[in-house]
Amino acid sequence: MATNRDITITEVALRDGSHALGHQYTVEQVTKIAKELDEANVPYIEVAHGDGLAGSSQQYGESLTDEMKLIEAAVSACTNAKIAVLLIPGIGTMTDLRKAHSLGAKMARVATHVTEADVSKQHIGLAKELGMETVGFLMMSHMVSKEKLVEQAQLMESYGADTVYVVDSAGAFLPHEVRERIHALREALTVHIGFHGHNNLSLAMANTLAAIEEGATRIDGSVRCLGAGAGNTQTEVLVAVLERLGLQSGIDFYKMTDLAENVVAPILPKPQEITKDSLVMGYAGVYSSFLLHSQRAAKRFNLDARDILVELGRRKVVGGQEDMIIDVAAEIAEKQQKGIKV
C-alpha cells in the first residue's frame, strides 16, 4: 500500500449514529462529542438526522431535538473541525441547506440512490454557490455495475462535486467489489474519491482498506462503530490501522479511544455488534437504516425480522421507501396466517 497519501476522515456518528439511537440526540450530547472530536483533530464532523436534513418524520423517525439546534451546537463546540451535513434531495430542500449553511455548516454531502445522481444537480450547485465543500454521495452502490457507477459519479463531478463517494449503505460489498469500483472511479474522475462502509458482513474495515489501496482518500468513520445496522468503519480503529500502514489521518489516537470509551459507549442503548438481523441486511443487500423499522414491524406483526429484511432485499427496496416495510410485514403475516410458506 502506498504511504505517500494523507487520508481525510469524516466522522459520521452524529448523523449515521442517529439511526442507532432512534434519532434521540440531545444538544448536550452533540456538544460534548463534537468538542472532543475537535480536540482529537478530526477534520470533518457530520451532523444531521440519520436520513439527512429534514429527515425527522413519522416515516423516517422523529428527532428528539431539532437538527438545526444540533448543527448550531456542533459548530459552536468546534475550533478547527468543519461541520458537514447530509442532504437527500426529496427529503431535504435547498431552503434547509441554506439554513444549515447560515448556522456554520461548511460541507454539503448530497446523497442520492446510485442510479439517480441527476437529482443532485441543483443541490450541489447551490452548495458551490454558498462556498461549501461539496460531496456527491452515491448510496446503495452495490446495486449497480462499475460502469453504471462511473456514469453516475461523472454526473456528480460535472455538477461541481469536490468528492464523489462509493456508499455501501447495506454493508453488502465484498473487498474485491470495492476494489474494482474505486479503481474504475479513480481512472474516470479527477476529483477526490471517498468510501463509506457499513459493518453488516464484518467487512467495513476490509472494504475501507481496499478502497484506500485503490486511491480513495476521503473515508467515513464512526466512533465506537456508532451507525445504522451493525455500524460503520470504526474511527478509532481506523486511525490505529492507518498509523500502522504509515498513512496519516492527523487524528489523535488516544483522544479518540478516550472519547469512544468514556463518552460514546455510555449513551449507546446496546453495544454495536453484528446481530442476526444486521447480518441478514448485509447478506440480502438491504439499506442499513431499515434495521429498527423492520424490528418494530416484526414485533407488531409477530414475525421474524429476518423474513422482512430478506423480502425487502428481494424487492430491491431502497432508502426513502421505508413505508414499504409495513406493507411487506403485513403481506408476510397474511401469508403465514393462510399457511403459505414465506
Q: Contact, 303 vs 330, CB < 8 A? A: no
**Rounded to 5 degrees, what angle do the CA atoms 225, 228, 229 make?**
90
Q: Contact, 111 vs 86, CB < 8 A? A: yes
Q: Contact, 72 vs 48, CB < 8 A? A: no
Q: Contact, 136 vs 117, CB < 8 A? A: yes
CA–CA distance, 85 with 143 (Å, rounded to integer): 25
- For 258, the grid coordinates are 478516550
CA–CA distance, 89 with 142 (Å, rounded to integer): 20
Ligand-binding site membership of 287 (annotated): yes
CA–CA distance, 194 with 173 (Å, rounded to integer): 15
> Who contacts 237 (Cβ-Cβ below 8 Å, separation ≥6)?
205
Among candidate residues 82, 38, 49, the one with its CA nearest the CA of residue 259? 38
Ligand-binding site membership of 113 (annotated): no
Beta carbons within 10 angstroms of residue 82's beta carbon: 19
Question: Residue 341 half-sphere exposure, CB side, CA atoms within 13 Å?
Answer: 0
> Who contacts 321 (Cβ-Cβ below 8 Å, separation ≥6)?
none
No. of H helices and E strands in the chain? 14, 8
Ligand-binding site membership of 98 (annotated): no
Ligand-binding site membership of 16 (annotated): yes
Question: Which residues are catalytically annotated?
Answer: 19
Q: Per the annotation, where are the binding residues for Mn(2+)?
A: 16, 196, 198
Q: Per the annotation, where are the binding residues?
A: 15-16, 169, 196, 198, 287
Q: Per the annotation, where are the binding residues for substrate?
A: 15-16, 169, 196, 287
